[in-house]
Structure 1
Amino acid sequence: MIARLHEALRTKRNDLENDQKGFTLVELLVVVLIIGILAAIAIPFFLNQRQGAWESQVKSDIANAVIAAETYAVGNNGSFADMAHTPGATAADLPTGDLVDNGYKATPSVVLTSAVDADGNGYVFTVTHREYTGPTWTYTSTDGTTVKS
């Protein structure tokens, strides 16, 4: 009887020592493959979100510049004739200027260039983003449209 108990304990001990737990190589490869697929889906989505944010910054700066230009015109009998703006300036480059003096707050990396019509009755803003290469937005005050090109 005691011999049987010793034999049973020895068998159990051998079974426990040989019972190794862990992941197989195939299981690990499947996990790596799934992570790779998820990354391939997520990275382009993330990049598109960044471009959308840059586009929103440009649109916001256009709206702010339009308000500042119209505020300038109110103080100058409805004329934009002498409205000054530093071409290609960004937020850091604009310590003064008619747009800034009338409330324009530029977003960093957004570049706004303005041009006043010869008769002083309108203006055109051309806006780009330094991080978002390619498109340019043009706002024309005479018809109030913004065109992305």
Structure 2
Amino acid sequence: MMARIRKSMEEKDQGFTLIELLVVMIIIGILAAIAVPVFLSQRAKARLTSAKSDASVISKELAAYYVDGSSALSVSGATAGGTWTVATTAATPVTVTTGKLSPGNVVTAGSGTTTGTYCVLVSTSTSGDGNVTVTSQGLTVNSPSATTCTAA
């Protein structure tokens, strides 16, 4: 052991060279340039998936209401990450059900007709990743600029 220390001191072996450190930094930079865009697209997909989940939950509540109910409904939830509310559209609205929105999502539009058809539009308000529309016919992912919802 002492011989190795003595040999190291004689050769003045004191650490890494500047070239070695620069090569390592370049490699780390290349890996970061590859990983960051992949990570950002995964976050956008996650936000869109949370909007799909919120729209699906609200549409299931509307469908459950129309098993026995027949009133026209409105859906609201304009606060990002707040709550959504389904209420009748009568002169004196009656709240049918409420629930919690995922963080960053808002209910842009939502309605149900007396014939049992409905439409819910949930958008990812803070990110602009897109809007999700669920109608009584199914789910669609819209462009970020879609702002209307029609119960077909």
Q: What TM-score do you get using the length of structure 1 for normalisation?
A: 0.71
RMSD of equivalent CA atoms: 2.8
The alignment status of 1:88 with 2:82, answered yes or no, reads no
**Corresponding residue to 2:142 among 115, 131, 148:** 148
Aligned residues: 131
Runs of 4+ in 1 over 4 A off after TM superposition: none
Larger radius of gyration between Structure 1 and Structure 2: 1
Q: 1:116 aligns with which of 105, 112, 117?
A: 112
More strand by share: 2
The Cα offsets for residues 47-90 of structure 1, whole Å up to 9 and x where unpaired, read as 011011101101111110111111222341xx251x23225344
Structure 2 residue ranges without an equivalent (≥5): 1-5, 89-94, 144-152
Aligned residue type for 1:129: T
1:54-93 aligned at under 5 Å gives the runs: 54-76=47-69, 79-81=70-72, 83-86=73-76, 88-93=78-83
Q: Does the 8 Å CA contact 1:68/1:104 hold for their aligned counterparts?
A: no
Distance 1:107 1:15 in 2: 60
Deviation at 1:101, TM superposition (A): 4.4
Q: 1:16-27 counterparts in 2 under 5 A?
A: 16-27=9-20
Q: Identity over aligned residues, as a percent?
A: 35
Partner residue in 1 for 2:87? 98
Contact 1:72 1:80 in 2 (8 A): no
More helix by share: 1
Contact 1:90-1:111 within 8 A present in 2 as well: yes
Report the Cα distance in structure 2 between the residues aligned to 1:15 and 1:51, rounded to whole angstroms. Answer: 53
Consecutive unaligned residues of structure 1, counting only runs of 5 or more, are 1-12
